[in-house]
Structure 1
Amino acid sequence: MNEQTAGRHARRGLNRRGFLVAAGATAVGAALATTLPERADATARPFRVPIEDVRHTRTWMAWPDSTSIWGGRLGGVQADIALIARTIARYEPVVLCANPGGAARARELCGPTVTVLTSIPVDDCWMRDTGPVFRVDGAGGLDAVGLNFNGWGNKQAHARDARVAERIAAWADVPFTHADVVGEGGGVEQDGAGTLMATRSSWVNRNRNPGMSERRITDALCDAYGASKVIWFDGVYGQDITDDHVDATSRFLAPGEALVQMPLRSDTDAYARDARQQFAVLSRSTTASGRAIEALRLQGPDYERIRSTDRGFLASYANFYLCNDAVISARFGDRRADEAARATLTRLYPDRVIEQLDIDRLGTGGGGIHCVTQQQPVA
């Protein structure tokens, strides 16, 4: 490993969103990744979580206001959340949950196009993980499932965030149920046609689901999402607060088509190995219906060329958000990689506007645009 490469890995570290751990509770080698035998056909379940490129009624977000979590970074993170909210609001309605004490600042930064709601209190901004997972039945019905958020395995205070999912469902006036598993929305990707993908590290983990086998967790996720198959990756245990959420690396584009953000050839850290494994597993996997999955590559940036020098920074182009008529993505200052990511997303979504945002302050928390948004699909 040459000096430049060694410097890249030392600066990147292995602790995405790691500084947040100190704000909450103390943190409480997998086998080769395989897919499990398929369960009963998903058509037996009337409700399912659709793929994310369907039309949305609105986007849900949350306003961070805790200095105990963010410290001196709070103002910058708030500015990034406001930028994301304002950008999405150009394409679809945005409802942002804020504590009463932070609502004035949220309204000031977000402007009149974003609805700020004070009746649903929050601890932090990660709506993908705390919000409800909305499901449709194809006949005009809509309901929601909660994934029993526990602060990524009791690593952060979450008394308010643990109730966000059910409170949003009540506000939206849709039926709500709790899943039979503990986890987060960023830990699952769905193709809307019966297939899920997830990392074992963020589900088959005693900090979320002690004593539960992979089979039981598979069944619970399939029940919650209206699916019949989970493609499992090993993931990365204990090196970031999420235990390696799949939505930072791999995304479904359509049934039978997925996208994986790939590291530089010289990258050899745990997350680089994880990304390569995810690509390899997807390339030999099939969907719930038996269709071979085509895995496409999205090149990640060079951490020596991005703007941020923060050790826990997450530079994920794959963590984009699909809203009505647009793709909301990030850029990190590696101009060549930023432009290549834009070109890839333009090719994949030719009928959508590609918006690339500077969200470096949010990235220091180890998250991105997909992490702080949750879609409510049109029923």
Structure 2
Amino acid sequence: MRRRRFMQACTVVLGGALLAACGTDDSAGTPSGQPGDRDDDRAWLMPEEGDPHRRTWMAFGASAGIWGAELVPETQRALGAIARAIARFEPVSMLVRPSDMAVARDLAGPDVELIEAAIDDLWMRDTGPVFVVGAGRAAVDFNFNGWGEKQDYDNDAEVASIVAARAGVELLHTDLVLEGGGLEVDGEGTAIITESCVLNSNRNPGWKKADVEEELYRLLGIEKVIWLPGIAGRDITDGHTDFYARFVRPGVVVAGLDNDPDSFDYAVTRKHLDILRAATDVHGNTLQVEVLEAPVDVREEFANDDFAAGYINYYVCNGAVIAPEFGDAEADEAARATLARLYPDRQIVQVNIDGIAAGGGGIHCTTQQEPAA
């Protein structure tokens, strides 16, 4: 279940400075932001992904400078395949550089709305806003900073405001730095978050768990956080939640399990399972934890050290679950069957995403839902 470590355009400091940047600290200092006050009425709530959507947002952002010229065509093909699969069930809007408009139209097809925009990369889950509902609808800008300034992000730092303006919703601001891939919610006030990402000094120096929890209550209506340790410094995201655990619905979680003893995720996925099985949600209920094991074999053409060979990074849209397949017939079918059991009222649509997986990501990483309510 390898994931993108540091892409070709990343600029990082090696050695001790990198270790310091990737460390987590739950005790030092005070946050730069002002946490919310839980004595106030909760104004906003982040819905669960399975709630009805108005549309899905994506970004057609693969570039040779980051991905390498050889991988770009396959990555673009996979983006088009994901967009077409989702567009069968709900509207899809995709940000596209003007120079890529023709190829995006060819690959995404006529049912996907293409919007000209300057973008650096394709990870809409992280660069886009997190939508919330309350008296109306709004979107939170979580200050994307290139996963701790590991990659150029000048254009992608503006994606949240572009999407919110296009969606016609208020943009909410915070000092907290967080990516959507680092956050899983059940829609009732429970969240799963990795410490390695959110409590990382490359994003939120000085913030403690309590500070993060207060700000997430103010912005997303989160009342209970289940903290997973994650693992920092091994992939570009510092261990996003959506490669480890996902809410199927309130009370039910599906978790990834890496069975490769040589993988850096082997031990941490087992630790996460122990934590999740002992955890309770905001209502005090013990979670039902299901497991999605990673494939044993993958297609070799685009396999590399960053290849994200795991099923956990699927996406739930209106009436369907869009999930990856990797050419391991037995594992692909087992994942499909598990998802069909967990989502009995949705179609399970599996897509070859080898280009995106070769960049260390998955379907969930490329998408962001806009709720209907």
Q: Same fold (TM over 0.5)?
A: yes
- Map of 1:18 onto structure 2: 5
- Map of 2:32 onto structure 1: none
- Map of 1:197 onto structure 2: 192
SS in 1 for 2:79: helix
Aligned ranges 1:140-155 → 2 under 5 Å: 141-155=136-150
Alpha-carbon distance in 1 for matches of 2:38, 2:203 = 27
Alpha-carbon distance in 2 for matches of 1:78, 1:224 = 34
- How far did residue 288 of structure 1 move? 1.4
SS in 2 for 1:53: coil
- Map of 1:3 onto structure 2: none
Alpha-carbon distance in 1 for matches of 2:271, 2:25 = 12
SS in 2 for 1:59: strand
SS in 2 for 1:44: coil
244-253 or 173-182, larger mean C-alpha shift: 173-182
Amino acid at match of 1:17: R
Identity rate of aligned residues, in percent? 44
Aligned ranges 1:331-370 → 2 under 5 Å: 331-370=325-364
Alpha-carbon distance in 2 for matches of 1:43, 1:195 = 18
Contact 2:78–2:353 (CA under 8 A) maintained in structure 1: yes
336-345 or 266-275, larger mean C-alpha shift: 266-275
Alpha-carbon distance in 2 for matches of 1:240, 1:192 = 28
Alpha-carbon distance in 2 for matches of 1:255, 1:131 = 24
- How far did residue 272 of structure 1 move? 1.6
- How far did residue 214 of structure 1 move? 2.4
Amino acid at match of 1:166: S
247-256 or 307-316, larger mean C-alpha shift: 307-316
- How far did residue 158 of structure 1 move? 0.5
Aligned ranges 1:113-124 → 2 under 5 Å: 113-118=111-116, 120-124=117-121
Contact 1:31–1:234 (CA under 8 A) maintained in structure 2: no
Under a length normalisation based on structure 1, what TM-score does the superposition of the two structures give? 0.89
- How far did residue 42 of structure 1 move? 10
Aligned ranges 1:263-278 → 2 under 5 Å: 263-264=258-259, 267=261, 269-278=263-272
SS in 1 for 2:281: coil
Contact 2:37–2:214 (CA under 8 A) maintained in structure 1: no
Amino acid at match of 2:82: I
- Map of 2:126 onto structure 1: 129
- How far did residue 52 of structure 1 move? 0.4
Aligned ranges 1:242-321 → 2 under 5 Å: 242-264=237-259, 267=261, 269-302=263-296, 305-308=297-300, 309-321=303-315
- How far did residue 345 of structure 1 move? 0.5
Under a length normalisation based on structure 2, what TM-score does the superposition of the two structures give? 0.90
- How far did residue 269 of structure 1 move? 3.2
SS in 2 for 1:18: coil
308-317 or 42-51, larger mean C-alpha shift: 42-51
SS in 1 for 2:74: helix
Instruction: Report the count of equivalent residues.
Output: 353
- Map of 1:36 onto structure 2: none
Cα deviation, 1:226-278, whole Å, max 9, x if unaligned, reads 111111111111010000101012001122211101122x5253212111111
Relative to structure 1, the CA distance from residue 269 to residue 180 in structure 2 (aligned partners, 3 Å threshold; closer, same or farther) is same
Relative to structure 1, the CA distance from residue 42 to residue 327 in structure 2 (aligned partners, 3 Å threshold; closer, same or farther) is farther
- Map of 2:90 onto structure 1: 92
- Map of 2:100 onto structure 1: 102
Aligned ranges 1:31-70 → 2 under 5 Å: 44-70=41-67
Contact 1:249–1:316 (CA under 8 A) maintained in structure 2: no
Contact 1:301–1:337 (CA under 8 A) maintained in structure 2: yes
Amino acid at match of 2:179: E
Q: 1:323 aligns with which of 317, 334, 344?
A: 317
SS in 2 for 1:163: helix
Instruction: Provide structure 1 residue ranges, at least 5 long, that are not aligned to the other structure.
Output: 1-11, 33-38
Q: 2:80 aligns with which of 69, 79, 82?
A: 82
Cα deviation, 1:111-136, whole Å, max 9, x if unaligned, reads 11111001x32111000001111111
- Map of 1:8 onto structure 2: none
Alpha-carbon distance in 1 for matches of 2:88, 2:306 = 31
Cα deviation, 1:302-334, whole Å, max 9, x if unaligned, reads 1xx211431111012111101110100001122
Amino acid at match of 2:67: W
Relative to structure 1, the CA distance from residue 188 to residue 330 in structure 2 (aligned partners, 3 Å threshold; closer, same or farther) is same
Amino acid at match of 2:123: W
Alpha-carbon distance in 2 for matches of 1:362, 1:328 = 14
Alpha-carbon distance in 2 for matches of 1:125, 1:48 = 26
- How far did residue 44 of structure 1 move? 2.6
Relative to structure 1, the CA distance from residue 195 to residue 161 in structure 2 (aligned partners, 3 Å threshold; closer, same or farther) is same
Q: 2:211 aligns with which of 216, 221, 233?
A: 216
- Map of 2:18 onto structure 1: none
Alpha-carbon distance in 1 for matches of 2:251, 2:76 = 37
Contact 1:41–1:228 (CA under 8 A) maintained in structure 2: no
Contact 2:42–2:217 (CA under 8 A) maintained in structure 1: no
SS in 2 for 1:328: strand
- Map of 1:71 onto structure 2: 68
Contact 2:308–2:360 (CA under 8 A) maintained in structure 1: yes
Provide the aligned C-alpha RMSD in A.
Answer: 2.0
Relative to structure 1, the CA distance from residue 125 to residue 42 in structure 2 (aligned partners, 3 Å threshold; closer, same or farther) is farther
SS in 1 for 2:153: coil
Relative to structure 1, the CA distance from residue 129 to residue 225 in structure 2 (aligned partners, 3 Å threshold; closer, same or farther) is same
Relative to structure 1, the CA distance from residue 142 to residue 42 in structure 2 (aligned partners, 3 Å threshold; closer, same or farther) is farther
